[in-house]
Chains A and B, each alone.
Chain A
Amino acid sequence: GAVVSQHPSWVICKSGTSVKIECRSLDFQATTMFWYRQFPKQSLMLMATSNEGSKATYEQGVEKDKFLINHASLTLSTLTVTSAHPEDSSFYICSAFTSAKNNEQFFGPGTRLTVL
């Protein structure tokens, strides 16, 4: 398979601060990366689609100015939660796609964000 990493694996921050989460494809180049959010006992909800070198496409109801996504290279996408509030506390998961590996999406291990 292919490996996708996320950093950090967990983060605790104060309300009002910004937090950056990295998603890396370690052994393949990902033309597209996706960002999901998952609240406790709930399913994954797609937040945005990130294509290398272009602006991210956000799902309805997701604030693009609050959740900044940058896909600067074929192996790295970042999600920045700006001015975080307690309601932003969640499990954030990224996935990466490459046509070179059976068109499969590979998921990262997730990042647990807790906003105090």
Chain B
Amino acid sequence: NAGVTQTPKFQVLKTGQSMTLQCAQDMNHNSMYWYRQDPGMGLRLIYYSASEGTTDKGEVPNGYNVSRLNKREFSLRLESAAPSQTSVYFCASIFGPGEKLFFGSGTQLSVL
């Protein structure tokens, strides 16, 4: 039982490049989330998917797009990376309201 799996673990991009962060969960969870974590800022919600087929903006969605490919997978895309997007990105999933979030191990992204 792998839980929440994120790939890649580390990535370095040049400004303007694009990339997709992958996330998959094997817990049959309905809702999935993408957060970014910056020093002194806590975890901030980028996008979430309450259920398969739906996605919604979170607190800091600008510069990102998401796809809920199926119930298991939720990807985060940076179309044109900027240095301000240098951060650690976490995917998380939850079965339903009131349940605890399970987090992946994170992707450390640097944009030069």
| Chain B binds chain A | no
Tell me the A residues contacting B by CB distance below 8 Å. Answer: none
